[in-house]
Amino acid sequence: MSEVRIAAEPRTEFGKGAARRVRRAGKVPAVLYGHGTDPRHIALPGHELMLALKTPNVLLRVDGLAGTDNLVLPRAVQRDPIKGWLEHVDLLVVKKGEKVHVEISVSLTGEIAPGGVLNQELVTVEVETEATRIPEGVEYSVDGLTTDAHVTAADLNLPQGTELVTDPETMVLTIAPERSDEEVEALETEEADVAAEAAEEAAKGDGESAESSSGESGGSTSEQQ
């Protein structure tokens, strides 16, 4: 798995104002915790951190803290809801051989049998694995799967040393029969009817609101006179 070395600076000022100053300097406020130690407040270079976080479950080797290196796993990443900028990151200290819970992607390969429609209902699964050997994901071949076939989390072939945490009965994918042209047309007609009924109800509600407002306005004028 990926490991990225990144420099850190201790933070001695806290609060919203201090955090804004850190971000204006192109850095990201972060907290490093784990293994029974007191949380350490640090600042990380924003651009390097953003690039590193493009890799799921990336391990960071944090330099510059009291002359020691720290191997950490990002756990909670806060972003600006509009611009997507990094605002804060929680980092969990990990050690070789230690087990952690993470989510990994589920990728499908191959082609299903003709006449079916593939529906992937789960794109990630939670697993327990060694912190320094987190798999990038798990693949499942759908080659030849026919109509009405289904795959659950228990059917995934996880890498050695990785155990499933997600409920084994959780559905990963199903193969449904293709709809005929008549079924597709009927469904589209039904959806159009529902949309038309909703629009009609909305128009009726707007009309009633307008009449009510008009009546209230007239009453007020009469009272004032």
Cα Rg, the chain, nearest whole Å: 27
Model pLDDT, residue 223: 45
Q: Render pLDDT for 43-70 as a digit per residue (tens, 0 to 9).
A: 899 899 899 888 888 888 888 776 555 8
Model pLDDT, residue 38: 80
Model pLDDT, residue 82: 84
Domains of the chain, by residue range, sit at 3-94, 100-177, 182-219
Distance of alpha carbon 16 from alpha carbon 6, whole angstroms: 24
Span between the terminal Cα atoms of the chain, in Å: 80
Lowest-confidence range among 30-34, 53-57, 79-83, 208-212?
Answer: 208-212
- CB of 125 closer than 8 Å to CB of 166: yes
Q: Render pLDDT for 62-111 as a digit per residue (tens, 0 to 9).
A: 887 765 558 888 988 888 888 888 889 999 888 888 899 999 999 999 99
Architecture of domain 3-94: Beta Barrel (2.40)
Taken in order 63, 69, 71, 74, the sign of the CA dihedral is: negative
**pTM score, whole prediction:** 0.68
Q: How many CB atoms lie within 10 A of CB 104?
A: 21
Model pLDDT, residue 71: 85
Confirm or reject CATH 3.90.950.10 for domain 100-177, answering yes or no: no
Model pLDDT, residue 68: 57
